[in-house]
């Protein structure tokens, strides 16, 4: 597949990555009528998000038809129905972040080449990390478009979204309102670094991070401020990256109200004197859009401060 100059510039806006495996299939609904304008046409199903043990998951199908006279590939542009919910597209990829729209990510996915007069169906998967409710809910409608060579929509279809209740009902839905600002709290205690056989020091300290609501987030990063010579050696469990002055919170994405405790291993070089080395702190921040910082409802409790002491012996 060749990429045009205009598409190449859009690709440079930020690569999201190749498609992942689907989570779960939502119930199909009748196709919405396309609003064709040019050599493309498109139809889209309703997105039904079904409750799972960790939020909601579902898919919708989009069928794109090439009404032109030459083979071409579609660039599919859409705003996800729930912030930080896009999970996969099959077939297809790569997909690209294109910034925020009402705290939901605008995403563009590059489809496979479609011959003249032929159609291709794409399945988009979503996972909404919010607490399943006993009642059905609706999210704001989204629009999915095939972009023309100028980057403007050549054909569009509307996608409605409904959350199935935990009882299985889609009747009498209430509006779903996603939190706009994160609600993170970090807590920790003092830490003592113990002398190792080679003279260096190492200490283990538990850190607890709580995510209080369902604001869009792909994960939580923690920046560390530490006394001179003290660094983050690693975290346990080490299923997310760490570096000298920070780390990503391990585990899956947080559900609202979830609290997670893990260990941060701090170290200092041989020759570090015993006694109180100073005060350190961890500041936890949500990671969502590269284009702007995520605001928190109470930034003060995002930071946990602690005293770092080294064994004298």
The pTM (predicted TM-score) of the whole model is: 0.83
pLDDT digits (tens, 9 = 90+) for 162-183: 999 999 999 999 999 999 999 9
Residues in the chain, total: 313
Residues of the chain above pLDDT 90, percent: 82
pLDDT for the residue numbered 88: 94
- Mean of the pLDDT values across residues 128-147? 96
Residue 206 in this model has a pLDDT that exceeds 70: yes
Nearest CA to 274 out of 221, 203, 219, 185 is that of 203
Q: What is the pLDDT of residues 2-28, one digit of tens each?
A: 333 333 323 333 334 333 332 223 333
Residue 311's pLDDT band (cuts 50, 70, 90): very high
Q: Is residue 274 over pLDDT 50? A: yes
* DSSP annotation string for the chain: ----HHHHHHHTT-EEESPPPP--PPPP-PPBPPEE-SSEEEEEPPEEEEEETTEEEEEEEEEEEE-SSS-B--EEEEE-SSTT-EEEEES---EEEEEEETTEEEEEEE---B-TT-EEEEEEEEEE-S---SS-EEEEEEEEEEE-TTSSEEEEEEEEEEEPPTTS--SS-EE----SSB-EEEEE--EEEEEPTTS-EEEEEEEEEEE-S----SEEEEEEE--TT-EEEEEES-SS-EETTEEEPPSSPPPTTEEEEEEEEEEE-TTPPSEEEEEEEEEEEEE--TTSPPPBS-GGGGEEEEEEEE---
Would the pLDDT of 195 be above 90? yes
Report pLDDT for 150. Answer: 82
- For the segment 84-99, what is each residue's pLDDT rounded down to a tens digit? 999 999 997 799 999 9
| pLDDT (0 to 100) of residue 37 | 45
Q: What are the φ and ψ backbone dihedral angles of 7, each rounded to 5 degrees? A: -70, -40
Neighbour-count burial of 151, counting CB atoms closer than 10 A to its CB (0-12 exposed, 13-18 middle, 19+ buried): middle
* Close Cβ partners of 5 (under 8 Å, ≥ 6 residues apart): none
Mean pLDDT of 258-286: 97
What phi and psi values does residue 11 have, to the nearest 5 degrees? -60, -40
Q: Is a pLDDT exceeding 70 seen at residue 263? A: yes
| pLDDT per residue as tens digits for the range 30-86 | 444 444 445 999 999 999 999 999 999 999 999 999 999 999 999 999 999 999 999
CA dist 91 and 109 (Å) reads 10
- Spatial distance between the Cα atoms of 81 and 274, rounded to a whole number of angstroms: 55
CA 28 to chain centre: 25
Question: Does the pLDDT at position 1 exceed 80?
Answer: no
Contacts with 23 (C-beta within 8 Å, 6 or more apart), sequence order:
52, 57, 87, 88, 125, 127
**Confidence tier at 153 by pLDDT (50, 70, 90):** very high
């Amino acid at each position: 597949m060749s990429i045009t100059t205009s598409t190449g510039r859009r690709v440079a806006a930020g690569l999201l990555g190749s498609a992942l495996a689907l989570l779960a299939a939502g119930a199909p609904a009748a196709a919405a009528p396309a609003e064709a304008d040019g050599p493309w046409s498109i139809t889209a199903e309703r997105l039904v998000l079904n409750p799972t043990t960790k939020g909601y998951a579902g898919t919708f199908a989009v069928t794109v038809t090439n009404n032109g006279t030459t083979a071409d590939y579609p660039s599919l542009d859409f705003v996800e129905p729930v912030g930080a919910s896009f999970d996969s597209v099959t077939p297809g990829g790569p997909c690209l972040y294109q910034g925020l729209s009402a705290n939901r990510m605008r995403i563009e996915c590059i489809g496979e080449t479609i011959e003249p007069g032929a159609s291709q169906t794409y399945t988009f998967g979503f996972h909404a990390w919010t607490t399943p409710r006993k009642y059905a809910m609706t999210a704001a409608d989204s629009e999915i478009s095939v972009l023309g060579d100028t980057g403007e929509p050549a054909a569009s279809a509307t996608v409605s979204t409904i959350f199935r209740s935990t009882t299985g009902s889609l009747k009498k839905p209430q509006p779903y309102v996603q939190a706009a600002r994160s609600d993170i709290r970090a807590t920790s205690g003092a830490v003592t670094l113990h002398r190792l056989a080679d003279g260096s020091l190492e200490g283990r300290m538990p850190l607890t991070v709580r995510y209080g609501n369902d604001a869009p987030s792909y994960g939580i990063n923690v920046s560390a401020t530490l006394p001179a010579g003290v660094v983050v050696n690693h975290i346990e469990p080490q299923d997310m990256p760490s570096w000298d002055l920070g780390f990503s919170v391990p585990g899956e994405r947080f559900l609202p109200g979830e609290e997670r405790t893990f260990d941060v291993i701090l170290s200092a070089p041989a020759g570090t004197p015993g006694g109180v080395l100073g005060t350190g702190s961890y500041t936890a921040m949500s990671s969502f859009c590269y284009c702007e910082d995520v605001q928190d409802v109470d930034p003060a409790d995002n930071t946990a401060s602690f005293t770092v002491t080294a064994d004298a012996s």
